[in-house]
Copies of this chain bind each other. A is one copy, B any other.
Amino acid sequence: MFSRHVDALIDAFRVLPGVGPRSAQRMTFHLLERDREGGQGLVEALQRALEHVGQCRQCRMLSDEDICGICRSERRDASLLCVVESPADVMAIEQATDYRGRYFVLMGHFSPLDGIGPDELGLDLLEQRLDSGEVAEMILATNPTVEGEATASYLMDMARSRNVRSSRIAHGVPIGGELEYVDGGTLSHAFQGRLEIK
């Protein structure tokens, strides 16, 4: 309204997920009035990330190098391969579990209407990986949504035809949740997936 550059910055902040016109304005004023140093830090960090962060050639995880740290690490069990939809899923699994195998990041899920098929998900790369004979078990950790399930089922067939064992992470009542408030689909899943107590 008063400054071309201020207006342009408010607009530019709206590319961020969850940022509407009010938050974009708040971010702009905050940086320009109170934290220009932090703003300059953000410029540099973003510029550097855009320039240097690509995808791991082996697992498609976001990485600074050709092959990411997990794929390079000798201490990771190469016979376990966990397939996830996004880098955020890898972060979540690494932070919460003691999984020590490797990953394959699809960067999405099957979505024919958006033109996302096997090529976009890098499934040729995944096939090579299964063909190499290195992988004993493929753990399917795609999201429990319609698209995630369709993707998992396609990958399950891919593994079966190559005699690679595949498994799906368990879906059921979340820890700390109350049965009464859990949705029907989850509860029905929890019954189907019940485990025998030994």
Chain A positions within 8 Å of B, measured between CB atoms, are 1-6, 8-9, 11-13, 15-18, 23, 25-33, 35-36, 38-50, 52-53, 61-64, 68-70, 86-88, 90-91, 94, 107
Measured between beta carbons, the chain B residues less than 8 angstroms from A17 are 26-27, 30
Name the residue on B nearest A61 (C-beta). B2
A42 in contact with B26 given A6-B62, A33-B62 (CB within 8 Å) = no
B42 touches A13 (CB 8 A): yes
Cβ A30 vs Cβ B16 within 8 A: yes
**Complex interface: chain B residues within 8 A of A52 (CB):** 5
Chain B residues with Cβ below 8 Å from A26 are 17-18, 88
Query: Is the beta-carbon distance between A29 and B86 smaller than 8 angstroms?
Result: yes
Q: A11-B45, A12-B42, A39-B50 in contact; A33/B3 too (CB < 8 A)? A: no
B residues in contact with A6, CB < 8 Å: 49, 53, 62, 64, 87
Q: A15-B31, A16-B30, A64-B4 are in contact. Are A46 and B49 (CB under 8 A)?
A: no
The reply to whether B87 and A33 form a contact with Cβ atoms under 8 Å apart is: yes
Q: Is the CB of B94 within 8 A of A12?
A: no
A100 to chain B, nearest CB (A): 14
Q: A8 vs B50: C-alpha distance in the bound complex, in angstroms?
A: 12
Q: Which of A11, A16, A62, A64 counts the most chain B CB atoms within 10 A?
A: A16
Taking the nearest CB of chain B, how far is it from the CB of A65, in angstroms?
8
